[in-house]
Structure 1
């Protein structure tokens, strides 16, 4: 059992399980998905150029909600945008649309985008650009020491999520991994959260959800989770009960043996 005491509150909240978002919560989002987005878009623009078509550099941020440096590489992302909150199918559909707008037929755009995604997956496997955020390893160790059941609930596909957790060496920490392909509806709907709770054998009202986007918080709210914790800047996640800058903050005293 996890015990939590919010700043300024007298009562201690007790929960039987913790559900984690993956990207931007456990691992550095920009380091991994910025790399992926750059590989996809670079190949996409190259294939368009072979056909005499162009997507301008200034239009790139508007495709998936990314931020770029002067050389064009991804350095950040909009936490309200498709890259942060979308499923892979949604990301695919958005890029197909941009290929169509650039002058491809819908069918040809679908084929080109599939090629780009396969290429990016190959590059991801070679580079494995995944790294844990500060405090995550120690927090997971604390959960294991306390015997707290934990799960991942992610907008990513389940097999992809497991692969990334394996790259990081933390897959075995989680009792359950739930990807968006395992439920009828992904975030912000409650389905992923409810399925994880069912498989853990814990009611949602005895569960804490930790994430970094509004989608995570809305999912937790809709499922009736006991506590919604946001990782990020204060005030950004309006539905979070508590927002902290990192897991290191939580390790300073929010989790009790």
Structure 2
């Protein structure tokens, strides 16, 4: 017997390895916004908590679990005179072309879950536009019954609104849904929604960061089927 009837995934750091996708993307964004000027790149990186030397976000970065709008407001601190709406649009469009690095081969993984009768969804603090672009680019958009971004009208994590919207959409009680994510935001949202919570280590958080909020912490989503059967 499975532990759940539906699985809800975070996107970045969960379906896609965070650093291989988003740290690479952020380096390009910082160069673009600074137009290659070294001093300005350093100021933007400092605001974003991004290490230019290692080309990686630091775990303290407010961008890691934030919404696209919050990321734009963060970067705007280092870009006085630049319009936040303009920065937000730049982030949305550039993020849709990010170099995607799936945490596991997604099509067979998702097909395996669907074959077991599980309903699947994605809730991200990215835009819905970005989420659909990424899932479409990797050929898996149609595997999901529900896709929501922070701008889809259900709210943003760590609030439980978008998670509960998924449960309603697929007609599954929250207690039979598993929320899978790489950040405390994801798992706090899952707890607030009354769902089981599984953390994965393909984001920026360590196991000790996730364990207080999780029923289990797994190396990546590829270990989820085994946990569901346990």
Instruction: Normalising by structure 2, report the TM-score.
Output: 0.85
For 2:79 and 2:172, locate their aligned partners in 1 and report how far apart those are by CA, in whole Å. Answer: 45
- Number of residue equivalences: 225
Cα offsets for 1:181-234 (capped at 9, x unmatched) = 123531111111011111111121111110000000010011111x10000142
* Number of the residue aligned with 1:92: 72
Larger Rg: 1
TM-score by length of 1: 0.77
Residues 228, 242 of structure 1: 8 Å contact kept: yes
Q: Distance in 1 between matches of 2:188 and 2:46?
A: 24
Question: Structure 2: which 5+ runs fail to align?
Answer: none
Residue 205 of structure 1 aligns to a residue whose secondary structure is helix
Is 1:55 aligned with 2:35?
A: no
Runs of 4+ in 1 over 6 A off after TM superposition: none
Deviation at residue 118 of structure 1 after TM alignment: 2.9
Supply the distance in 2 between the matched residues of 1:75 and 1:191 (Cα, whole angstroms): 31
2:175 corresponds, among 205, 230, 236, to: 205
> 1:18 is paired with a residue of what secondary structure?
strand
Which of 108, 116, 120 lines up with 1:150 in the alignment?
120
Rounded Cα–Cα distance in structure 2 between residues aligned with 1:120 and 1:177: 16
Who is 1:34 aligned against? 23
CA contact (8 A) 2:92 2:127 kept: no
Cα distance in structure 2, aligned partners of 1:201 and 1:182: 19
Q: Determine which of 175, 199, 216 is the counterpart of 1:242.
A: 216
Cα contact 1:36–1:120 (8 A) shared by 2 = no
Residues 1:228 and 2:213 are matched in the alignment: no
Change (3 A) 1:133 1:183: same
Distance 1:138 1:83 in 2: 30
SS at match of 1:19: strand
CA distance in 1, matches of 2:214, 2:61: 18
Structure 1's 135 and 43: CA in aligned 2 closer, same or farther, altered over 3 A?
closer
Structure 1 pair 144–85 and aligned structure 2 pair: CA distance change class (3 A) = same
